[in-house]
Amino acid sequence: MPINYYIFLSLALFCIGIVGVLTRRNAIIIFMCIELMLNAVNLLLVAFSKMHHNAALLAGDATTIAGTDGQLFVFFIMVVAAAEVSVGLAIIVMMYRNIHSVDVNFLNRLKH
């Protein structure tokens, strides 16, 4: 597949995530949109990794492992996302226990 298609698909998913963050007020939905953006980046990383692999194969190296780095980065992004979700959801639960809402507009009282 042409790499262009993957770039545009990832851009569309990423921008949908951004629109979700900008238009929703539920903290959990905003968090889910951040996960969507992370996944769009992951998809693009895998596509670029396969693109580099293809370029190395076309250069004549039949046993190349070029492009492995991209897929390992995706693996580490997933690791970081899992840790991020556990801490973030704990913060949201704590916020819900204190103010009985998950509305991010109430969070601006953190300023004072």
Q: Which of residues 32-71 bind another protein (CB under 8 A)?
A: 32-33, 35-36, 39, 42-43, 46-51, 53-55, 57, 65-69, 71
- By CB under 8 A, name the one of 34, 41, 60, 83 that touches another protein: 83
Which residue type is seen at 84? Answer: E
List CB contacts of 35: < 8 A, sequence separation 6 or more.
Answer: 81, 85
| Structural tokens at position 84 | 């991020």
At closest approach, how far in Å is the CB of 94 from another protein? 5
Binder among 34, 41, 61, 82 for another protein (CB under 8 A): 82
Nearest-angstrom CA–CA distance, 70 and 54:
13
